[in-house]
Amino acid sequence: MELVEWQVKHLLHDYDLYLYGIDEMEKNRWRIETNNGVFLLEKTGEHPTQLYFVASWLHYLYTQGVKSVVPFCVTKYGEPYIATKYGMYTLQPWIDETEAIWHVPEWEAKVLSEVGRIHQVSIQAQVRWRGYAPVSLEQIRQRWKNSIAQITLIAEVAEQNHGAEVFEKMVKRSIEQVLHFAEYAVQELSEAAVRLEGRHLMRALCHGRIHRRNIIVGATGAFYITRFERANLDTPVRDLAIFFRRYAPRCEWSIRRGRKWLAAYEEENPLTEEERLLLSCYLLFPERLAHVARTYLNTAEGDREHNVQQWTQTWQKHLRLLSEMHQFALAIKQK
């Protein structure tokens, strides 16, 4: 802690701040008490160009009245970050969390409404700063094909190994069903790419990680969307797909709930027909199953036994919901 305190004092000097107290909240994130208030100090591995991109957008959004974002503090030298031999650091005002976001009634619709507002303001601003490149449809298609290959590999291992693990056997038993939905999604995405070729798709500031742990409910009930470090300019569908994949399974891919969430978003940023088509394609692919398979293969064999039960339960849950996911994706395409 002494080394950290020494580093923090040195960093705060660039903001003309004096350290009163420091608490490590989690790895590379500290709550800092100073002579001029409380701040969040974060160490990041993002590239300086990306940090400048994010800082510029957060500042712009805030000046346009989007108070759900927390801009980076600027040093006395005008920089939104500090580069040291120990790494890159950013400083933001500290927001005290008064309650967990999932305790807020209809929090999903409220969050998506604010995401829609961020998208709309950034679209209207046109392209101002450039960060990480958007993900192309070809990249997505290739990633899906790689996921299909990984799932197939696990099933083949189970076929050849009589002593296969429980998870491998489950993948083998369900391989035909999973591939049916996965290959259909790849086909639909390929056809959508042809239809969208030459069409102009709007680019919005996409957070890329809309998750409950990245949302803070403040003292007045207002909430803040945090951790924009990996944001980029991409089709707004990206954020929507990530959100739906994560939270729609919790309500059994309820079409009624999904339409309600999307309606809240579209009050701020209406989707075009092309964007609805793309969102539908994104949601057709069994991403949660692909993620489990990828995690399994990336885990060393000696460590797999500790996670087999969790992987098996997750696979069972999302396998059971494949048909509901498919119907949800098709329904979301319609207004």
What does pLDDT average to in each consecutive run of 10 residues of the chain (335 residues)? 77 96 93 97 94 95 96 96 92 95 95 98 82 86 98 92 81 97 97 87 93 92 94 95 97 97 98 95 97 95 89 96 97 86
Residues of each domain in the chain carrying CATH 3.90.1200.10:
103-332
- Is domain 2-94 annotated with CATH 1.10.10.10? no
How far apart CA 170 and CA 174 sit, in angstroms, is 6
Task: Give the per-residue pLDDT at 3.
Answer: 55
Task: Give the per-residue pLDDT at 164.
Answer: 66
Q: Cβ neighbours of residue 127 under 8 Å, at least 6 residues apart?
A: 203, 233
In Å, how far are 138, 152, 186, 294, 319 from 286, measured between CA atoms?
Answer: 17, 14, 11, 12, 9
In Å, how far are 20, 234, 290 from 55, measured between CA atoms?
Answer: 26, 17, 33
Q: Which residue has the tokens 């209406």?
A: 270
CATH topology of domain 103-332: Aminoglycoside 3'-phosphotransferase; Chain: A, domain 2 (3.90.1200)
Task: Give the per-residue pLDDT at 163.
Answer: 61
How far apart CA 274 and CA 246 sit, in angstroms, is 23
Q: What angle do CA 92, 109, 314 make, to 5 degrees?
A: 90
Predicted model pTM? 0.93
Q: Which string of DSSP letters, residue by residue, matches 25-47? A: EETTEEEEEETTEEEEEEEE-S-
Using an 8 Å Cβ cutoff, are 333 and 283 in contact?
Answer: no
From 90, 56, 81, select the one nearest 227 (Cα to Cα). Answer: 90
How far apart CA 79 and CA 83 sit, in angstroms, is 10
Using an 8 Å Cβ cutoff, are 132 and 50 in contact?
Answer: yes
Task: Give the per-residue pLDDT at 199.
Answer: 80
CB atoms within 10 A of CB 334: 9
Q: Which string of DSSP letters, residue by residue, matches 110-153? A: HHHHHHHHHHHHHHHT-S----BPPPPHHHHHHHHHHHHHHHHH
Using an 8 Å Cβ cutoff, are 109 and 266 in contact?
Answer: no
Question: Which helix (DSSP H) or strand (DSSP E) does residue 73 occupy?
Answer: none
Q: Cβ neighbours of residue 218 under 8 Å, at least 6 residues apart?
A: 95, 96, 97, 98, 224
Task: Give the per-residue pLDDT at 2.
Answer: 53
Q: Which residue has the tokens 């449809």?
A: 137
In Å, how far are 85, 152, 307, 318 from 313, measured between CA atoms?
Answer: 44, 19, 10, 9
How far apart CA 259 and CA 109 sit, in angstroms, is 10
Using an 8 Å Cβ cutoff, are 297 and 261 in contact?
Answer: no
Q: Cβ neighbours of residue 239 under 8 Å, at least 6 residues apart?
A: 115, 119, 204, 206, 207, 208, 210
Q: Cβ neighbours of residue 293 under 8 Å, at least 6 residues apart?
A: 147, 150, 151, 154, 171
Residues of each domain in the chain carrying CATH 3.30.200.20:
2-94
201: its two tokens: 């798709």
Task: Give the per-residue pLDDT at 4.
Answer: 78
Rg (CA), the chain: 22
Q: Which residue has the tokens 């991409």?
A: 234
